[in-house]
A = this chain, B = another copy of it.
Amino acid sequence: MLRYYTAGESHGEALVAFLSGMPAGLKVDQAFLDRELWRRQQGYGRGGRMKIERDKAHILSGVRHGSTIGSPIAVLLENKDWKNWTDALPVEAGDPSKHKRVASPRPGHADLAGALKYNFPEARYVLERASARESAARVTIGALAKLLLRELGIEVLSHVVAVGRAALEKEVTWPAIAQLCQREEMLLNCADAPAEARMKEEVDRALQTGDSVGGVFEVVAHGVPPGLGTYAQWDERLDALLAAAVMSLQAVKAVEIGAGISAAASPGSAVHDEIGYEKTSGFSGFTRTRNNAGGIEGGVTNGEEMRVR
C-alpha cells in the first residue's frame, strides 16, 4: 500500500516528505527529483523567496546504492532560510518577544479558520503549515511516483491552461506538453506562445496593482492502461481519489475531469466519447472519437489519456 504524508513548516528547519510502500529495486534518479523541485520554483511573478531556496532532495532512508529497497522513504528538504528564523520560530520555548506575529488574518487563506480551530491568538502557526511551500514535499513524492509510473510506461505532466481571463484556446497534444516540460527556461508553462504572452500580461496587471490572479492547470497522464480504480465502492473510484488529491493543494477550489464543466451545459450526445474498435489500437483495441471523459468512466480508467484540471 502506497501512502504519503508531509511534515514541516514554511520557515522551519526542513520539510519532510514521507513515502511508504514503494516496491524495491526502482532506480532513483536524484537529478530528476531536483529538476522537479526546480520546476516547482519557476513561474512568472513569484516572490523573491523562490530565488533563495533552490530545493534539493536530501534522501534519508529507503534508497540504497541508487535504488529503492522497499522500506519507507523519507526525504529532507532543508530550508535555506532557517538560520534567519531560529529566533522567531524556535522549537524550544525561546524568547517570546522575538515571535513574528501575524495579527491580520488574510481572507482566502487558512489564517482565520485555522486560528479559530486551534485556538491560536494570531495566525503565524497556521500560515507556517498551510503554506504553498508544503507542496515542495509533495513534488518530491510525486517525482518518486513518476519514476515508478515510468517503469510501467506511464508519463505524467502538467501545463497551464488559463491565467485570469487569458485562456488557452486550442487543445494541446501530448507531444506539445512533453516538449514544453523539457524547457530549460520556464515562463508560465503554457504550450501556446501567444496564450502565454496574454497570461503574462494578466500577471503583470495584477502585480502592478498589488493584486493576485487565479488560473487553471491541467495534469495529463499518458499511457494509462484501462481498469485502474473501481466503481465497486465509492472510496475506491479513481475520480474520487484524484479529486481529493488535487483539491487538497493550497489554493485549489475546483477540480474537473476531462470536459466536466462544459459537459454540464451540454447534451449527452455532445459529451460522450463514442466507442470504436481497431484490433491493433492501444491496450485493448477499443478506440474513441474524442476524450471528454478525461480518461475515466465510472471511476475507472478507460485507456485514454487522463486529464484533470
Contacts and interface: CB of A to CB of B under 8 A. Distances in A.
A20 B64 CA distance: 27
Interface stretch (A4-12, A47-55, A144-152, A171-179): A4-12
A8 B66 CA distance: 16
A153 interface: no
Contact of A299 (B3, B107, B110, B260): B110
Contact of A254 (B99, B261, B274): B261
Interface string A115-147: 011111000011011100000001000000000
A261 to B, nearest CB: 5
A7 B108 contact: no
Interface residues of A, number: 132
Given A297-B112, A299-B248, A268 B211 contact: yes
A293 B227 contact: no
A186 interface: no
A18 B75 CA distance: 12
A286 B106 CA distance: 13
A244 B254 contact: no
Interface stretch (A35-43, A190-198, A234-242): A234-242
A302 B21 contact: no
B298 A233 contact: no
B253 A213 contact: no
Interface in A223-257: 226-228, 230-237, 239-248, 250, 252-257
A165 B77 CA distance: 48
A106 B211 contact: no
A247 B236 contact: no
B215 A264 contact: yes
A220 interface: no
6 tightest Cβ-Cβ pairs between the two chains A and B: A110-B298, A253-B260, A254-B260, A117-B227, A108-B272, A212-B268
23 contacts: A7-B62, A8-B61, A12-B60, A16-B60, A16-B61, A21-B236, A63-B91, A65-B89, A66-B92, A107-B297, A108-B271, A108-B272, A109-B298, A117-B228, A126-B231, A164-B266, A206-B267, A235-B248, A237-B248, A240-B245, A247-B257, A253-B293, A254-B263
Given A69-B125, A253-B256, 17 more contacts: A5-B233, A8-B61, A9-B71, A18-B18, A64-B89, A65-B89, A70-B230, A71-B232, A107-B273, A108-B268, A113-B300, A164-B266, A213-B266, A234-B245, A239-B247, A244-B244, A253-B263
